[in-house]
Amino acid sequence: MRQLKIALFAAVASCALTLPAAAADGEKFDGYTLRVKLIGGAQYEPLYTLIPQWEKATGAKVEVISRKSHFELDREMKQDIASGNIDYCAFSSHTNFAPQYAVMNQPLDDLIAADTIAGFAPLVISHATVNGELMSLPRHSDVSNLFYVKSLYEDADNKARFKAEYGYDLAPPETWAQASDQAVFFTAPPNRYGTHFAGKDEGIAGRFYEMLVAEGGALFDDDWNPTFNSEAGVRALNWFVDLYSKKAVPAGTTNYVWDDLGLGFATGNVAFDLDWAGWAAFFNGADSKIGGNVGVALAPKGSSGKRTGWSGSHSFSITKQCDNKPAAASFITFLTGHDAQMLEARTGLLPTRVKVWDDARAEFTAKGDSFMVEVFDVWGQSMAEHAFTPPLIPEWGEIANALWPKLQAAILGDMSSQAALDEAADEVREVMEDAGYL
């Protein structure tokens, strides 16, 4: 991971030198110090190497008063809201969690020019809009598709054995039922497992949610009554339960979250991995044991014919308490500008500006990087046609927290899928009652 970090920084430093040193609109904020809270982590840091360019162009200084992981930052901002101590101007947000920060979040409609907003993909802008107001500028999007180890799928012996056992050709799965067959087929513990999944926190809640949608279910009905303990819900949860009981995933998968999954897949111990595009360059690079041997495919379909596509976007917001909103607006516009997004797109992070999709793809094509071209094609299609967010309400975090311990209980065999979902539905109902929906 450290090597990856160093490699990323080196790549960014070399790119940064070639980028034009200009802020988006040429505004000046001489002598002003902009206080910001930013999300930290290997995938997110390279963008911040561009901040000195904005400082140079505007005459302002940026003081990063907090740089933490998403969940730590989330806790910190909730405490800021509770204590009323919001002495900063801009912060990293996420479209799926932004509704929680409504008390401190400045709507951007009057601060960001309409033609700037028009440069973003309309679907992503709609995800960043809460109650008709634009709450953040999307930085990059997340949606998961399938990474798989090519050599396993191309192996003639594997193909023959799979066909004999399951009666259809071995190819990257088109449905989650096929994915399940293949996971069991490829499993040979302790050296290889078919797949793995995020097994705790919002990770498993989100994975269940997208499977629920793909199975034709829904979290809530129109009146916010929980409906995920339906037949579709049980089918969705059983996908995880079956793989766990057949030992086609590592036993510790219920403790895994994103880094465990990404690093685990890169060791080559897993046949396929549903994961975020931000890992693409790393998986296929020199630091990965499967570098050059990675294929990508659209996330499979559930029994309803719909593909999984739990999505959301990392974004930047401005606080209502900010004493220089134009400066903050200029800053977040700069960090979500064309050049900034190109920088992130080179590592596989999905741009939110339409033009960056085309330009990044053209750049990969020119460099002959057919893997990244394929990644952009697959994820581009996914973002355009299959992506959906959880309900954009402040309670999403609480709902996820009510869900995941029960999902784990079913996966580990402590209770049946139906009982687990029924108990979770009772808890979620209580959350919705307390929040005034029911």
Partner 1 sequence: MTRFRRYARDHAVPLALLSPAVLVILLVVLLPLLFSFYTSFSNYRLIRPDSLWDWVGFRNYARVLGDGDFWSAFGRTVLFLTVALNLEMLLGLGLALMVNRITWGQRTMRTIMMFPMMFSPILVGFQFKYLFNDTIGLVNNALQSLGLASEPIPFLVDRWLAFAAISFAEIWMSTSIFAILILAGLFAMPKDPIEAARVDGCSNWQVFRHITLPFLMPFIYIAMTIRSLDVARAYDIVDVMTGGGPAGRTELLWTLIARTAYDDARMGRANAMAYFSILLSIFFTWFFFRKLMAARRHLGAF
Q: Which residues bind partner 1 (CB under 8 A)?
A: 71, 74-75, 78-79, 81-82, 84, 100-103, 189-190, 199-201, 250-252, 254-255, 264, 269, 394, 397-398, 401, 405-406, 408-409, 411-412, 414, 430, 434
SS3 119: coil
- Which CB sits closer to partner 1, 78 or 246? 78
Separation CA 292–CA 300 (nearest Å): 23
- Which CB sits closer to partner 1, 215 or 398? 398
CB of 259 to partner 1, least distance (A): 12
CB of 84 to partner 1, least distance (A): 7
- Which CB sits closer to partner 1, 203 or 300? 203
CB of 361 to partner 1, least distance (A): 36
Any idea what the Cα angle at residue 186 is, between residues 180 and 190, rounded to 5°?
115
- Which CB sits closer to partner 1, 297 or 415? 415
In 111-230, alpha helices (H): 114-118, 122-127, 150-154, 156-166, 176-186, 201-214
Separation CA 15–CA 339 (nearest Å): 10
- Would residue 313 be called left, alpha or beta, if left means φ above 0 and alpha means ψ between -120 and 50 degrees? beta
Q: Which of 340, 346, 338 is nearest to 366 (CA)?
A: 346
- Which CB sits closer to partner 1, 110 or 434? 434
Torsion of CA 84, 88, 89, 95, to 10 degrees: -70
- Which CB sits closer to partner 1, 93 or 100? 100
Burial category of 326 from C-beta neighbours within 10 Å (exposed 0-12, middle 13-18, buried 19 and up): middle
CB of 171 to partner 1, least distance (A): 27
Separation CA 365–CA 372 (nearest Å): 8
Separation CA 315–CA 138 (nearest Å): 4
CB of 212 to partner 1, least distance (A): 19
CB of 255 to partner 1, least distance (A): 6
Both ends of the chain: CA-CA distance in Å?
46
- Which CB sits closer to partner 1, 84 or 305? 84
SS3 393: coil
CB of 398 to partner 1, least distance (A): 5
